[in-house]
A and B are shown apart, each in its own frame.
Chain A
Amino acid sequence: MTGRKEEVVTTMCASHCGGNCLLKVHVRDGVITRVETDDGPEPQLRACQRGRALRQRVYDPGRILHPLKRVGERGEGRFEQISWDEALDTVASQLKRVRETYGPISILYLPMAGDLGVLHSVMVGHRLLALAGGYTTWWGATSFQAGLMSEYYTFGTICCSNSRDSLLHSRLIIAWGWDPAKTIQGTNTTWYLARAKEAGTKIVAVDPFYNETAAAFAREWIPIRPGTDAAMLIAMAYVIVEKDLQDRAFLDRYTVGFARFRDYVLGVEDGLPKTPAWAEAITGVPASTIERLAVEYALAKPAALMAGIGPGRTAFGEQYHRAASVLATMTGNVGVLGGDAGGRAWVSVVGGYPYRVGLGSGLPFARNPIDDLATWDGVFLGKMHPRIHYAKMADAILKGRAGGYPADYKLALIVNCNYVNALPNTNKTVRALKSLEFIADVEQHMTATARYADIILPSSTYVEREDIVPGAVNGYYGFQRKIIEPLGESRPHNEIFKALAERMGILDYDTQGEEERLRSAVAKARIPDYEAFKEKALYWVPRSGPYVAFKDQIEDPENHPFPTPSGKIEIYSERLAAMNDPLLPPVPKYIETWEGVNDPLARKYPIQLVTPHDRRRANAQFDNLPWLREQLPQAVSMSKVDAESRGIKDGDMVRVFNDRGETRIQARVTSRIMPGVASLPEGAWYDPDEDGVDRAGHPNVLTSDEPSPGGAFPYNSVLVQIERL
């Protein structure tokens, strides 16, 4: 009915930004007209710039509205519209063909998290392919594998974070490579930081870049060389031990292995005391600063060491996360209001608040017969043959069995994943994708990845279907209402996979139906009133104050052991010791990064590149939206010293390159970055010219596909050269 009154529907935005915020979506005649956010009681869940650009996202001219079949070369972007029947039949028959010709191990399932929803998670594809005979998939969380590994071996769980309002009780906050002004890190984190600062809490930022959180809230900025964070943390431990400032009672009661770590720190083990002077030479941070911060942190209890995940995305990033958690443990800041366990300070999807319902489709679990062949080497979530580390996927596709991989790979099913953009070493990724026999992509937008697909199955956005989402670190659930009909012929990916299952002859894919699964997820979450939850789109888990991780373990250790083999916090890990790998030591150690300042490669490529998240994107999501693009043009930030020596002025077009690739983008010359370091935010959609030179400022043409020993993706261990064009 035309001219009908505008309706306002509340829903929860759950993109991949790190927040979960309320949106009040205005709809007229089935079209979204504008958006407001939470105006209820505080803490309001106010949406950020990304969520507010909802209309441009949903109605993006690049939205894929119909099933498409490739007619040009892979990557060229020429497609023709086909029917759903033809698209589904093609994908189903290709899956069957590859399974029968090469075996199910040759089928690759390449998902990522994308928009977050319980029902519409990537598990829908896992179930289909598992029931269809199996598939190969990846291990290694691109964002924070090092942090997962560290949390698991140190605390026995990946739920290590206090809710963000705990920061209001901190006496000192160290934002270590942590920039929630860009990456949200749980809705309202910057609001809590602002209030903490105004209440007199000292905030210190450690980062090679004077990031937005540092600029707004930090009383002190400590620039540090990329990849050397563990050295500074370990030197802080040295200062604390030397001055006998560690919390002895805490260490005695709750931990194992402190003496082993102390021996390493003091140099008993290797003759090298890890003094502030030792760390200064590695990190570029003055020894006096290291010493002062160590003393402040040891005495400021409760103090929150917020260990961002960027420094963990380096070669040996596992050691940074382990060192941060051990430092938080030594100072007795674990399980304390206003403290923090020093785990990953990014916990939206995996870990964080211990929700009863996580992301998992609500479909029954189906075993993947290929994973049943797996041998676990013991690294949490990792080294699970025949799974492939995600960074090595392109290498595995290109080399197959001849290269020592478990199979020759022939087909890729890509879901919720801008694979070309997200994974390191793009030029290799592109070669790999071009070599496959068949690629199907379930996508919303014509991304850099969709352009390589043979068949694109158009999926709908979170305003075109129903779902629920857990609310990151802060302890609430959100309901996502179906606000408009799916655009064009797009479908929720639940429906897409159900239809594929039918064509594969799998009849028990979803015996419950979506509505029933949604209701049972809500019941499992112990949300009392389904209809009220749906209407308000928000349910706070009842609580008496900020959530404090490990509160029970600290207050009542006899009845609440840590879920580690020893029942304690494992500063020394027997499980790591059993791996007998010097690059995964049982106590945290500084191991020199590759592609750092001492790498011989630095003579050719003298600039250390970091590739952080950007304000206007969530990874690659939102890069295409004009309202966001116009505010923040993509640029490579570099210091005045490095720019002047290269004749580069602010705004000049430059080439950033190494042996893996080249990208051309404008330079931002700034006093906000450490000399010798450049910063190019990740997520810009790869846009190669005919010679393969990227024109978008997409840094993954430069990053390495060699994972760290614990599985960390070394997106921030990259040497490059920069020249004026």
Chain B
Amino acid sequence: MGFYFDQTRCVGCFTCCVACKDWHDVPAGPANWMRIACLEQGEYPNPFVAYAAVPCYHCAQPACADACPAGAISKREGDGIVVVDRGECLGESVCGGLCREACPYDAPQFGAEEDPRMQKCDLCLDRWREGKRPICVDACPTRALDAGPLEELRARYGPQRECPGLSWSEKTGPSVVVRPKTRNSSGGAPWK
């Protein structure tokens, strides 16, 4: 399973982030299963602004799972969703968050509680069971997100896997399809 992000439609409203925190009951604080990175480039009056939605991309070779000393992280058979067994996680105070260090996208998250166990996006496993898509996908006001089997996403949206704010990792192989925003697709000030 993978994730689709249409960067040309993202207005940086953070609805996906808030919907995620509400659905998974994650308090305000350092743990954010879905993050929005804001990029700003260029000089006035030709700025370029783009947002990148950064959940867990459920990589083909998840570096977090390889890095975990307790074997608490696994990639599920079949759907390929990368999950953490929080009961097995040793906690940030023991291992220092090796999974987070290994992940090119900082997907593994640790809360503000004492000796936090790792938590992260599970692509809303509970919602797939009910036949629903992830909460972020169903929340996005501009319909910029989708999720599903990677091959289906590629067939529907094309082969692109990089956009400003998201580099494709050869090592881990993130399960992501994007529609990138470019200067041509967005604007600037042609009169200059």
* Residues of chain A having any CB pair with chain B under 8 Å: 34-37, 39, 46-49, 52-55, 181-182, 188, 190-191, 194, 197-198, 205, 210, 212-223, 286, 288-289, 292, 615-616, 626-632, 639-641, 670-675
Contacts and interface: CB of A to CB of B under 8 A. Distances in A.
Contacts of A188: 141
Interface in B1-39: 8-15, 17-19, 21-23, 25, 27-29, 36
Given A49-B15, A49-B18, A190-B11, 16 more contacts: A35-B23, A37-B139, A46-B140, A48-B13, A188-B141, A194-B143, A212-B13, A215-B50, A219-B187, A220-B190, A221-B45, A628-B18, A639-B44, A671-B46, A672-B44, A672-B49
Given A194-B9, A615-B12, A49 B187 contact: no
A630 B191 contact: no
Contacts of B29: 630
B77 interface: no
Contacts of A639: 44
B78 interface: no
B93 interface: no
A33 to B, nearest CB: 8
A52 B45 contact: no
Nearest to B43: A671
Contacts of B191: 220, 222, 286, 288-289, 292
B43 to A, nearest CB: 5
Contacts of B46: 671
Going nearest first, the 8 A-B pairs with the smallest beta carbon separation are: A626-B28, A181-B11, A215-B49, A671-B47, A49-B15, A631-B14, A52-B18, A671-B44
Contacts of A214: 187
B44 A215 contact: no
B67 to A, nearest CB: 27
B11 A640 contact: no
Given A191-B143, A216-B11, A675-B44, A52 B22 contact: yes
8 contacts: A34-B23, A181-B12, A182-B13, A190-B142, A615-B12, A627-B28, A640-B43, A671-B44
A36 B141 contact: no
B189 interface: yes
Nearest to B192: A286
Nearest to B15: A49
A634 to B, nearest CB: 15
B187 A215 contact: yes
B165 interface: no
Nearest to B7: A216
A631 B36 contact: yes
B131 to A, nearest CB: 11
B132 interface: yes
B188 to A, nearest CB: 7
B27 A626 contact: yes
Contacts of A218: 186-187
A615 B13 contact: yes
A182 B11 CA distance: 9
Given A210-B49, A215-B187, A181 B13 contact: yes
Given A46-B141, A210-B49, A221 B187 contact: yes
A48 B18 CA distance: 9
A194 B14 contact: no
Given A214-B187, A221-B187, A46 B139 contact: yes
Contacts of B19: 35, 37, 49, 52
Given A39-B138, A190-B142, A216-B11, A627 B189 contact: no
B12 to A, nearest CB: 6
Given A55-B22, A181-B11, A674 B44 contact: yes
Contact of B22 (A53, A190, A198, A212): A53
A711 B112 CA distance: 49
Contacts of A198: 8
B35 to A, nearest CB: 9
Contacts of A632: 14
A612 to B, nearest CB: 15
B89 interface: no
B52 interface: no
Contacts of B22: 34-35, 52-55, 627
User: Most chain-B CB neighbours within 10 Å: which of A48, A54, A288, A289?
Assistant: A48
A194 B44 contact: no
B96 interface: no
Interface of B: 8-15, 17-19, 21-23, 25, 27-29, 36, 40, 42-47, 49-50, 132, 135, 138-144, 186-191
Contacts of B17: 49, 627, 631
Contacts of B8: 194, 197-198, 216
Contacts of B186: 215-216, 218-219
Given A216-B10, A640-B44, A194 B189 contact: no
Contacts of B141: 46-48, 188, 190-191
Nearest to B20: A52
A213 B10 CA distance: 10
Nearest to B190: A220
User: Most chain-A CB neighbours within 10 Å: which of B27, B45, B46?
Assistant: B45
User: Most chain-A CB neighbours within 10 Å: which of B10, B15, B27?
Assistant: B15
A34 B138 contact: no
A523 to B, nearest CB: 33
Contacts of A52: 15, 18-19, 22, 139
Nearest to B11: A181
Contacts of A615: 12-14
A37 B138 contact: yes
A169 to B, nearest CB: 19
A628 B15 CA distance: 9
B121 to A, nearest CB: 16
B9 to A, nearest CB: 5
Nearest to A197: B8
Contacts of B45: 221, 223, 674
B23 to A, nearest CB: 5
A627 B42 contact: no
B177 to A, nearest CB: 17
Contacts of B132: 39
B134 to A, nearest CB: 12
Given A213-B11, A615-B13, A672 B40 contact: yes
User: Most chain-A CB neighbours within 10 Å: which of B135, B140, B144, B191?
Assistant: B191
Contacts of B50: 215
User: Most chain-A CB neighbours within 10 Å: which of B17, B23, B28?
Assistant: B28
Contacts of A627: 17-18, 21-22, 28
B189 A220 contact: yes
Nearest to B17: A631
A219 B142 CA distance: 18
A629 B14 contact: no
Nearest to B23: A34
A672 B46 CA distance: 8
B187 A220 contact: yes
A632 B144 CA distance: 20
A263 B57 CA distance: 63
A454 B35 CA distance: 43
A188 B142 CA distance: 7
Contacts of A674: 44-45
A362 B92 CA distance: 58
A221 B190 CA distance: 8
